Chains A and B, each alone.
Chain A
Amino acid sequence: MDLRLPSKVLEHIFSFVDSNEDRNSVSLVCKSWYETERRTRKKIFVRNCYAVTPEAVARRFPEMRSLTLKGKPHFADYNLVPDGWGGYAWPWIEALAEKSPSLEELRLKRMVVTDECLEKIAASFKEFKALVLTSCEGFSTDGLAAIAVACSNLRELELRECIVEDLGGDWLSYFPETLTSLVSLDFSCLDSAVKLSDLERLVSRSPNLKSLKLNRAVSLEALGSLLRLAPQLVELGTGSFSDKLDQEAVSKLSQAFSELKQLKSLSGLWDVHPEYIPLLYSVCPRLTSLNLSYATVQMPDLVELLSRCSNLQKLWVMDLIEDKGLEAVASSCKELRELRVFPSGAEDLDETNVAMTEQGLVSVSEVCPNLESVLYFCVQFTNEALVTIARNRPNLKCFRLCVMEPFSPDHKTQKPLDEGFKAIVEGCKDLQRLSVSGLLTDKAFQYIGTHGKKIRMLSIAFAGESDLMLHHLLSGCESLNKLEIRDCPFGDTALLENAAKLETMRSLWMSSCFVSFGACKLLSQKMPKLNVEVIDEHPPETRPDSSPVERIYIYRTLAGPRLDMPEFVWTIHKNLEIGVSNLAIE
């Protein structure tokens, strides 16, 4: 009896399978499921642009409509990856233009995108709808103009924290009068002012506009007129919040804010003058997301504002909020799920009175039952606080603690923070992302290896004592997918012992550690499915094998050696003679 379902039926069933993780499982069942699945997948995620070639992706997924690509390693955000390393969008865009002309959405993160790329997108994809660039660089406002003028069905244009060569604000004027489909516009990272009248006209002919994030150059007064044109906004990023307004302008602006009945998310708020904070009160009760991380608002004003945000789920704020402010947040924002506290620079190391400590986070953890994601920069911490937080919040999924002075011990007991992090990994069984800091011995990593079974991403800096640290992690953390390490004293042994583990992970980054060039060569020989990149300004071939290299970046790949490596990146493919002749391969 033929039990095979006709492919049309299979296709229909698969159309309900949304998550790509599920789709990946589906495609492993059998050949016919693989074939049917691949013909129906529309949204593709390539989380390392060098893991696979664009041609292979286009070939496998002929119905691709949306592609998400990530390029540089995460530590590129902190200037640890030299310019010119790679992550170029061009080869992808070129290939897709030819093979996937029906592409509608492109989301790129940490990639080098040039004006040529943007022009190519504008020229090649007739149905193009969404361009989201996060932490990208290499393009200018001219490239934006090319997108604006040509993409007649554009819905989303978002530039998140990109480094853009700013040639002026004209690019916005290139959106044609016929473009009425805009849903989301984010130009918050640009410096130059756009022409207000063009922006107003664009907003007023975009009835579907739900998300608008302005840049700092948009004044408070201009904001008022824009809000009146778009009361349907769900997400708003203001510009600068500090003009001198007269009484009439203030009350008009207040009225405009109170008309934003759908607003759920608020950000921007540069240069907030305390006297204008009450303008926001009317939207507070509906807000689920509030980003005050660029707003230099002092604690009392923050408390006034946040006490009105009873539905807040996501809060990003600076450490100006202090422990007292976080206590207030705890009592007002019971729905809080995600908290990020960034350094303001006010907590200088010279200040002896520290107003934001571990206590702030402890308060929030005590009271907010849904808190599952934390990023916390602070000057000091204690084991006791970590133990308390773990006990209060076993549901934590993401815990990133950055004690700003490297090697800081528990400030009460002067002991390492090993026991504290032990409590975190033991107590929070669903922890998927962890960043550690402070004084940590190898013990801490033994605990993480033993208990951190669900950890997928782990970030470590200035910690540990020996190779054991890495060994514990690579042999213990079963779900480990991304590991990034800087300035830790370990080297070759653990890396080579656990070489097989590296094929089960997306990537490993190590900088300023003790990994030798010889180990890199050996690893490259043993593991052909990995790209072992040595990123070092001084060519490693001219040094002894035992000399340590500056940075290594190791990732699994189906694409083989990169063809776009700069001079300062070495892989075994560059010097095949050296690779083969000097080593005795077991």
Chain B
Amino acid sequence: MRGGSELELGKSNLPAAESELELGLGLSLGNGAWRERGRILTAKDFPSVGSKRAADSSSHHGASPPRSSQVVGWPPVGSHRMNSLVNKQAMKAEKREGKEEGKKKVMKEEDEPKDVPMKVVQGSGFVKVNKDGVGIGRKVDMRAHSSYENLAQTLEEMFFGMTGKVKPLRLLDGSSEFVLTYEDKEGDWMLVGDVPWRMFITSVKRLRIMGTSEANGLATRHQEQK
């Protein structure tokens, strides 16, 4: 291990061999996230820059590159403002997908049906997230996210390091060793992803990233009849 005194002016001290980074890998993280540590987003990760944006976004099926709206803390807009911004984006997304669901708003109890713009979701919006094997919990602002993809992206960055390459549905499609689950208003633990997003954010109380084997016993909303 190089001592700190060997750091000199002019010499690049960037981590050279990947093998150096592999030492001391957190053993609970089996997905090679450490290999990506220190890899920051570069222009390659934003291919829509400088060319017709629409064309590029369609050429990346599935593994879509991080749009600037999916990078944590970008654009640099305060969270109060971000909530309004995200609500409008969610509205646009739903309009684009032609969902009638978009017309159903998140209601306060005393809300009457009237033609007003989307209201901000009630409550603080922050939900605790814990990952099995990691002592420190985090909090995510549900109101700062517009979709499951968005949320999974944030959680991946929080718990698996900055990956750069984005596979936004890793936590949601059952293909990795971890699944994302949530505790709803009734205290039941469910798999994330089965209900429409706007319904989800009103009922989610806590999030938990757990190992796939543990999650086998969980019900989805489809299976559970109330």
Contact of A349 among B42, B68, B79, B159 (CB under 8 A): B68
What is the bound-complex CA distance between A261 and B157, given in angstroms? Answer: 52
The answer to whether A583 and B4 touch across the interface, beta carbons within 8 angstroms, is yes
A342-B77, A547-B38 known; A538+B57 contact, CB < 8 A: no
The interface residues of chain B, by DSSP majority, are classed as loop
Task: Tell me if B194 is interfacial: C-beta within 8 Å of chain A.
Answer: no
The answer to whether A544 and B7 touch across the interface, beta carbons within 8 angstroms, is no
Task: Tell me if A98 is interfacial: C-beta within 8 Å of chain B.
Answer: no
The answer to whether A405 and B78 touch across the interface, beta carbons within 8 angstroms, is no
The answer to whether B141 and A79 touch across the interface, beta carbons within 8 angstroms, is yes
What is the bound-complex CA distance between A84 and B43, given in angstroms? Answer: 32
Which residues of A sit under 8 angstroms from B77, Cβ to Cβ?
78, 342-343, 377
Task: Tell me if A274 is interfacial: C-beta within 8 Å of chain B.
Answer: no
Task: Tell me if A548 is interfacial: C-beta within 8 Å of chain B.
Answer: yes
What is the bound-complex CA distance between A413 and B35, given in angstroms? Answer: 36
What is the bound-complex CA distance between A343 and B89, given in angstroms? Answer: 11
- Rounded to whole Å, the gap between the CB of B3 and the closest CB of chain A is 5
Task: Tell me if A564 is interfacial: C-beta within 8 Å of chain B.
Answer: no
Contact of B88 among A346, A497, A547 (CB under 8 A): A346
Task: Tell me if B122 is interfacial: C-beta within 8 Å of chain A.
Answer: yes
Task: Mark out the residues of chain B between 59 and 98 whose CB falls within 8 Å of any chain A CB in the assembled complex.
Answer: 67-69, 71-81, 84-86, 88-89, 92
What is the bound-complex CA distance between A271 and B118, given in angstroms? Answer: 9
Number of interface residues of A (CB under 8 A): 82
- Rounded to whole Å, the gap between the CB of A564 and the closest CB of chain B is 15
Number of interface residues of B (CB under 8 A): 72
A82-B138, A546-B13 known; A406+B40 contact, CB < 8 A: no
Stretch in B20-28, B99-107, B165-173, B216-224 touching the partner = B20-28
The answer to whether A582 and B3 touch across the interface, beta carbons within 8 angstroms, is yes
Contact of B26 among A79, A538, A582 (CB under 8 A): A538
What is the bound-complex CA distance between A512 and B66, given in angstroms? Answer: 16
Contact of B46 among A406, A486, A568 (CB under 8 A): A406
The answer to whether B73 and A75 touch across the interface, beta carbons within 8 angstroms, is yes
Q: Which of A406, A409, A566 has the most CB of B within 10 A?
A: A406
Which residues of B sit under 8 angstroms from A161, Cβ to Cβ?
78-80
- Rounded to whole Å, the gap between the CB of B147 and the closest CB of chain A is 14
Task: Mark out the residues of chain A between 284 and 309 whose CB falls within 8 Å of any chain B CB in the assembled complex.
Answer: 293-294, 296
The answer to whether A294 and B124 touch across the interface, beta carbons within 8 angstroms, is no
Task: Tell me if A18 is interfacial: C-beta within 8 Å of chain B.
Answer: no
Return the chain B residue nearest A522 by Cβ.
B4
- Rounded to whole Å, the gap between the CB of B68 and the closest CB of chain A is 5
Contact of A345 among B23, B86, B114, B122 (CB under 8 A): B86
Stretch in A21-29, A221-229, A245-253, A487-495 touching the partner = A487-495
What is the bound-complex CA distance between A80 and B86, given in angstroms? Answer: 18
The answer to whether B4 and A518 touch across the interface, beta carbons within 8 angstroms, is yes
What is the bound-complex CA distance between A235 and B162, given in angstroms? Answer: 44
What is the bound-complex CA distance between A346 and B54, given in angstroms? Answer: 15
A343-B85, A538-B26 known; A191+B122 contact, CB < 8 A: yes
- Rounded to whole Å, the gap between the CB of B181 and the closest CB of chain A is 20
Which residues of B sit under 8 angstroms from A521, Cβ to Cβ?
4
What is the bound-complex CA distance between A243 and B126, given in angstroms? Answer: 29
Nearest first, the 9 A-B pairs at minimum CB distance are: A522-B4, A78-B73, A548-B38, A345-B88, A407-B43, A584-B5, A518-B4, A345-B85, A345-B89
Residues of B participating in the A interface, judged by any CB pair closer than 8 Å: 1-5, 7-15, 20-21, 23-24, 26, 37-38, 40-43, 46, 48-50, 52-54, 57, 67-69, 71-81, 84-86, 88-89, 92, 114, 116-117, 120, 122-124, 126, 134-136, 138-139, 141, 144, 158-159, 161-162
Give 23 pairs: A residue, B residue, CB < 8 Å, sorted on A.
A78-B74, A78-B77, A78-B78, A83-B138, A163-B126, A271-B116, A296-B88, A343-B77, A343-B85, A344-B85, A349-B48, A402-B75, A406-B46, A439-B49, A462-B41, A493-B8, A496-B7, A497-B9, A518-B3, A518-B4, A519-B7, A537-B134, A544-B1
Residues of A participating in the B interface, judged by any CB pair closer than 8 Å: 75, 77-80, 82-84, 135, 161, 163-166, 189, 191, 216, 242, 244, 271, 293-294, 296, 342-346, 348-350, 352, 377, 402, 404-409, 414, 439, 459, 461-462, 467, 486-489, 491-493, 496-497, 512-514, 516, 518-519, 521-522, 525, 537-538, 542-548, 550, 566-568, 582-586
